[in-house]
Each structure stands twice: as structure tokens, then as C-alpha cells.
Chains A and B, each alone.
Chain A
Amino acid sequence: MKALYLAVIRFYASSIGKKMIVALSALGLLAFLLGHLAGNLLIFSGPDALNAYAAKLHGLGVFLWVPRLGLLGLVGVHIMATLHLAAQNRAARPQEYVADATLRATRSSRMMVLSGLTILAFIIYHLLHFTVGNLHGFHDDNGAYRLADGSMNVYKMMVVAFGVWFNSLFYLVALTLLGSHLSHGVSSLFQTLGFTTPRTRPLYTLVGRLFAVAICGGFASIPVAVLAGFLK
């Protein structure tokens, strides 16, 4: 057991080990994004479908904390390892070039820390917005956002929240940065975990871009549909 513990420590201490931990935690977060999007898109099937899905999730009670804590752990590990790597990267070149040139690196690859930290700020806002906070009076005692059986009217919550244009605008900006993060991150994941070969590299680059467009387009469709008056 101690040998295994030491092996994990040694793995994390290595550059490639930390990168693999970033990639593996990202895999879990990508799975969550897909699930979260699939659930949210139920809004287009009408209030009943979305509210039934939300009631089912809340029905898990204490067990809802298992995926919640898991996600929190993944986010924590992903950020800790990346910040550690970024600090080492800074230390590896104390004197910057006077004339700096970029030949091949994409813009999204160069702003991973910035896009990542913006997404973190967005996640905190997002949780305060819908889950914890009371900006729109979702959690008032008057029951304006509750259904007859006492469960939350999530459909109404989303339509009211995204009806505020600056709120939707902030969501769209955050989603654009998420797309940028994913377009580099997803293709990088295959490289870091060692799956990329000369033949598959173009495929993985394409998968990264398609994934980014699908996730961001999917999520963005909801505030856009509300603002356009399609969802009421």
C-alpha cells in the first residue's frame, strides 16, 4: 500500500504525470458537460419534461451529493495540477525573449489559463445564480417558482433568468471562452494520454473543434431562444 502511495506521489511529481492527471480529470468534466447539456436541452421539449428531469435529480436526495462532490474533486484536481504546471513553466524561462515570435501555437492554446480561470469564475456565478443565490427571487417563500407538488419550476427559472439580456450576454461570453478552452483541451487530451499518431492527429483536432462547437452551440441555444422569444 505504501509502495502504491509513493508511486502516485512520484507520478504527480513528474511533468508527464501531472499532465495526465489534468487530462484524466478533464475526461470526467467533459462527461459532465455532455450530461448537463442533454438535461438542459429538455427545455425544448416543454416545461413538463424539464421539470420532471429536475425533480428526478432532486429526488436523489443525499445521493445527489455523490456526483456533486465528485465534480468538485475533479475541478479541484484539474486546477491544482494546471496551476502547478503553469508555475513550473514560468520558472523554466525567467528571461523572456525581447523579440517574441509564434509560429504554430493556436490562440486558444495560448490562453488556456485565462479561459480556464474565466470559466471558474463563471461556474461560481452560475451556481450562485441558479442553485444558491436569490438574484431573481427563485428561493422566496411565496412559492412563485414552485409547482403544485412543491418541487422547483426549473423551466420558469430559466426563462426568467435568461430574459435579462446582460445576464444572457455574460453566459454567451463565458460559453465562447469554454469553446476556446475545449477546442485546444480535447485534442490535447489525446496527445497527452498518448493516443495520437501521425494518421489520427487531424481526426483528434477535428474532434476537439466539433466537440467545442457542439457543447457551446448547445448551451448557447437556450439563452438565445429565450431572448428571441421562442421559449416563454
Chain B
Amino acid sequence: MNLTLKVWRQKNRNAPGHLAEYQARDIPVDASFLEMLDIVNERLIESGDDPIAFDHDCREGICGMCSLTINGKPHGGKGGVTTCQLHMREFQEGQTIVIEPFRASAFPVVKDLAVNRSAFDRIIQGGGFISVRTGSAPEANGTPIAKDVADRAFAAAACIGCGACVAACKNASAMLFVAAKVTHLNSVPQGQPERDRRVLGMVRAMDAAGFGNCTNQYECAAVCPKEIPADAIARLNRDYGTAAIKEALVG
């Protein structure tokens, strides 16, 4: 199939960017979106041009490295899939596709479509962990966890930290990411001793990184490749409110 691409090109973080037009000819319909970009890049290299920089790693939808805002929708907006799992058969012959980076001041552009998402690492450092040594996998029935709690924690733990929630949010808010991590760890018994410190630390790290504020529009949940529900954000709000009151009264 033949497509017209309008790709965001930007030399580095401080340079102004612009949309450049490319013709993508003879693209196999079964190619993934990233494979399509590989083909375009090979031709750019052959003709001596600078290839388009974009992030990718596992290409099987589990590493959280690929990004791209495709026609205004992170990961293409299908929901439940990452860009690497999006195939060209989803597009029409002759279609024009606008490809932009995940846009947020907390995710500065490294080059073209690749952005620096280390703000998420700083949020994890704020409390997205359990400080005890757990050793190797424990005996399965050693710490009983109710089925609904385990299911909730597991669904939240599916978050791969890709940042699509931030990219889709009208305010570039990271609430769904933080909510997934807090829901995961604050649901299970191993996370209880640090639950208040965790939520306060992670929300403060999120605010310090310059993300926006949630306005309850749930664009994040619509694009999340792991389909984390917006209810996790209500849980984050509840845990934060409780922890902040405890901190104010007890210290």
C-alpha cells in the first residue's frame, strides 16, 4: 500500500521542530507500524538522508519502549495495543498519517519522535517499590491474598510505563501511570507498611516533574495499551487524601 507520512522532525530538545512529508510506497499490509517506519528509514539512509529517530525495543507489546502519537492518538488510539502491535491493515490505501512524539513538557524530545521518559523513573524512585528483601519466589500460599484483591493488583501491575496516558491527556497528566503503580503495590499485603509514604512520595515526584492535573476526562484509559481503568485514579485520590490527613495530624 502507498501512504503519505507527515513526520515530526526535531534535531534536539531545544531546536524547533516541524512536520516533514514522506511518501511511503509499496508497504506490505501485514507490516507493523514500526516495520513501515523501518522501510521508510532504509530508503532515507540509501538516499543519504537522516533517518527518522523513534523508540522501540521488544516489538511484542510488553516493554513499554515504543511510543508515537498517530493522527493525534497515542499508539494509534485503538486501545489495548502498543504501536509495535499496530498493523498497516488498520489504515486506508493512500491515507495521510501524521506522526508526532508523545508531547509533554515532562517528556522532552530527544530527537524527532523519541522522547525522554525518565520522569517516570523519578516517580518510581519516589515510592514505587517495596523496601524489604523478598528473596526468590515465595511459597504460593504463604501469604493468602483474596482473589479480587489479587486480580486488581495484577491488572494494575500490567502497566508497562509507556507514557501513552500522559500523551493522550489534554493536560499531559501522569495520574493513570501513578494510579496503576499505587493500586498495584497498595493492594497487596507486601505493600502495606509503606502505603502512605509511597503515595505521598510518588505524587510529589509527579508534581515536581511538571506533569499536568487530571480533569477526569479519561482520554488516558481510552488509549492505554494495557487497559488500566480510570477507577485506579479514584483509588489514588483516596489513598493520597488519607495519607495527607494522617501526615497532617500525626506527622
Q: Which residues of A contact B (CB under 8 A)?
A: 3-4, 7-8, 10-11, 13-20, 85, 88-89, 91-106, 109-110, 112, 184, 187-188, 190-198, 201
A185 to B, closest residue via Cβ = B216
Is B240 among interface residues, defined by CB-CB distance under 8 A? yes
* B51 lies within 8 A of chain A by Cβ: no
A109, B169: Cα distance in complex, Å: 12
Cβ contacts under 8 Å, B239 to chain A: 194
Taking a contact as CB atoms under 8 Å apart, the answer to whether A20 and B241 are in contact is: yes
Interface size class of chain B, counting residues whose CB lies under 8 Å from the partner chain: 35 or more
Contact B237 A201 (CB under 8 A): no
Cα distance A33–B214 in the bound complex, in angstroms: 26
Chain B contacts with A in 70-124, Cβ cutoff 8 A = 71-73, 77, 98, 100, 103-106
Tell me the total A-B contact number using a CB cutoff of 8 A.
145
Nearest A residue (CB) for B199: A16
Contact of B248 among A8, A98, A101 (CB under 8 A): A8
Interface segment out of the listed B25-33, B58-66, B133-141, B170-178? B170-178
Majority secondary structure, B binding face: mixed
With A17-B244, A99-B72 known as contacts, the answer to whether A89 contacts B213 (CB < 8 A) is yes
Q: How far is the CB of B108 from chain A (nearest CB, A)?
A: 10
Whole-angstrom CA separation of A96 from B216 in the bound complex: 20
Contact B217 A92 (CB under 8 A): no
Q: Is the CB of A192 within 8 A of B207?
A: no
Q: How far is the CA of A184 from the CA of B217 in the complex (A)?
A: 9
On whether the beta carbons of A97 and B234 are closer than 8 Å, the reply is no
Q: Is the Cβ of B171 less than 8 Å from the Cβ of A92?
A: yes
B212 touches A103 (CB 8 A): no
A15-B203, A110-B170, A194-B238 are contacts. A92–B218 as well, Cβ < 8 Å? Answer: no
Q: Which residues of A contact B72 (CB under 8 A)?
A: 97, 99-101
With A20-B237, A93-B104, A97-B100 as given contacts, are A104 and B222 in contact (CB-CB < 8 Å)?
Answer: yes
Q: Nearest Cβ distance between residue B25 and chain A, in whole angstroms? A: 22
**A93 close to B237 (CB less than 8 A):** no
The closest CB in chain A to the CB of B168 belongs to: A103
Given contacts A103-B219, A105-B170, contact A88 B100 (CB under 8 A): no
Q: Is the Cβ of A193 less than 8 Å from the Cβ of B211? A: no
CB-CB under 8 A from A110, the residues of chain B are 170, 217
User: Using Cβ atoms and an 8 Å threshold, which residues of chain B touch A196?
Assistant: 231, 234
Q: Chain B: which residue is nearest A20 at the CB level?
A: B241
B34 interfacial contact with A, CB 8 Å:
no
* Alpha-carbon separation in the docked complex, A10 to B208 (Å): 13
Question: Is B244 a contact partner of A85 (Cβ separation < 8 A)?
Answer: no
Do A105 and B214 contact each other (CB < 8 Å), given the known contacts A3-B251, A93-B172, A194-B235?
no
B234: which of A100, A106, A194 is its contact (CB, 8 Å)? A194
Please, which residues of chain A bring their CB within 8 A of the CB of B233? 191
Q: Is the CB of B237 within 8 A of A16?
A: yes
The answer to whether A93 and B171 touch across the interface, beta carbons within 8 angstroms, is: yes
- Residues on A with C-beta less than 8 A from B241 are 16, 20, 193-194
CA distance A104 to B74 in the complex (A): 13
CB distance from B228 to the nearest CB of A (A): 12
CB distance from B111 to the nearest CB of A (A): 15
Q: Judge whether B218 and A105 touch: CB under 8 Å.
A: yes
